Amino acid sequence: MNRHPRQDFRPYDFFLAPKPVAQTAGTMDFRAAVSVMVGQMLEKAHAAGLDRYEVAARASRLTGQHISKAMLDGYTAPSRQTFNVPPWIAPVLQVVCGCSELAEWQAETIGGQLLLGADTLDAEIGRMERQRMSANKKLRALRSLSERSL
């Protein structure tokens, strides 16, 4: 039995702060990547029983704007570089398809992390715990100074 941890597993990586992608000229054209992600989102919806016609119909109802299957097909075609999914439709498609991968990718791209549901509460609890620990440390230091000055 190998008792040595895997060399590629580094648990501390989980706690590293996310960083935005490098701002290098010509590297931030994400049109093809977005097209692929929208396509994957629609594939997951199809696997869950929603075809593109139904996704388009639901998105149209939610937005009050006409969204067609042909538009969805265009959004998923990397070759149609001038026809990416508009930012106002992306969240609607994620809701309809039950996916958050596009929003997660966007957050990671700008150096963040998307938290949903109970994870947001857990993050706030963690932030408040850190504040409490910092305040307790300061209180101990002040009490120590106070006791010495008596």
Q: What is the pTM of this model?
A: 0.69
Q: Which pLDDT band holds residue 24 (cuts at 50, 70, 90)?
A: confident
pLDDT, tens only, 114-149: 888 888 888 888 888 999 999 999 999 998 888 887
Q: What's the pLDDT at 149?
A: 75
Per DSSP, the residues of 22-85 read P--TT----HHHHHHHHHHHHHHHHHTT--HHHHHHHHHHHHTS---HHHHHHHT-TT-TT-PP
